[in-house]
Chain A
Amino acid sequence: EDKVVQSPLSLVVHEGDTVTLNCSYEVTNFRSLLWYKQEKKAPTFLFMLTSSGIEKKSGRLSSILDKKELFSILNITATQTGDSAIYLCAVGRFGNEKLTFGTGTRLTIIP
């Protein structure tokens, strides 16, 4: 059975701090790992990672994948109150379109 575990489950930091969110996985025929941000409604896409060691970056957010150690991290620098959300990690497999989601990390940024 596929497993995706995120840590921490929740995190509270002050505006301006840097945070690192973790996602580890166990999946057969790994294809990709995706990060999503969920505020009040549906998740919005952040990154898709398929290769180890290649950092993906979008503004203050960046993410990297380690396929040997089976984990990914999502970094957010200079956090803002608008970064407060649930961050979801999901893993996709070859031969199957389903995504398996992790538990999510609830991030709260205090002004």
Chain B
Amino acid sequence: GAVVSQHPSWVICKSGTSVKIECRSLDFQATTMFWYRQFPKQSLMLMATSNEGSKATYEQGVEKDKFLINHASLTLSTLTVTSAHPEDSSFYICSANFATGENTEAFFGQGTRLTVV
């Protein structure tokens, strides 16, 4: 199956600093990747759709300037949490779709646990 790799798996940063999270499709090309956020005991909330070579599409309520997304190649999307604050502490997960036979399946990265202190 397809593999999506996310890095780092966890990060602790000081309030006010920026953090970059990478999402790579290792054995396939992904023109579209997705970034999710998950709070404890809650489901995945889609933050934005990352489009290779163009601007990301953000979901309602997600600050574009706060969560910068860059999809510069067909195998890499990055999410930068700018000027992080404790309320940004969360589990961030990326995914990419891959066609398996007649259907398209979403493959997830390992996730990044961000703690802002």
- Contacts A97-B104, A98-B46, A98-B49 given; does A41 touch B110 at CB 8 Å: yes
The answer to whether B46 and A32 have CB atoms under 8 Å apart is: no
CB distance from B29 to the nearest CB of A (A): 14
Q: A97 to B49: give the CA distance in the assembly, Å.
A: 9
In the assembled complex, which residues on chain B have CB atoms less than 8 Å from the CB atom of A104?
A: 42-43
Q: A50 to B104: give the CA distance in the assembly, Å.
A: 11
- Nearest CB in chain A to that of B106: its residue: A99
Which A residues are closer than 8 A to B by beta carbons?
A: 32, 34, 41-45, 48, 50, 86, 88, 90, 92, 97-104, 106
Q: A34 to B107: give the CA distance in the assembly, Å.
A: 12
Q: A50 to B51: give the CA distance in the assembly, Å.
A: 26
Give the dominant DSSP class at A's interface.
Answer: strand
- Contacts A41-B111, A43-B44, A88-B43 given; does A97 touch B32 at CB 8 Å: yes
A-B contact pairs, 14 of them (CB 8 A): A41-B110, A42-B109, A43-B44, A48-B103, A86-B43, A97-B97, A97-B104, A98-B34, A98-B49, A99-B46, A101-B43, A101-B45, A101-B46, A104-B43
Q: A79 to B16: give the CA distance in the assembly, Å.
A: 46
In chain B, positions 60-117 with a C-beta closer than 8 Å to chain A are 93, 95, 97, 103-111
Residue with the highest number of chain B CB atoms closer than 10 Å, among A44, A50, A102, A104: A104
Q: A76 to B108: give the CA distance in the assembly, Å.
A: 23
CB distance from A23 to the nearest CB of B (A): 12
The answer to whether A32 and B103 have CB atoms under 8 Å apart is: yes
Q: A45 to B2: give the CA distance in the assembly, Å.
A: 12
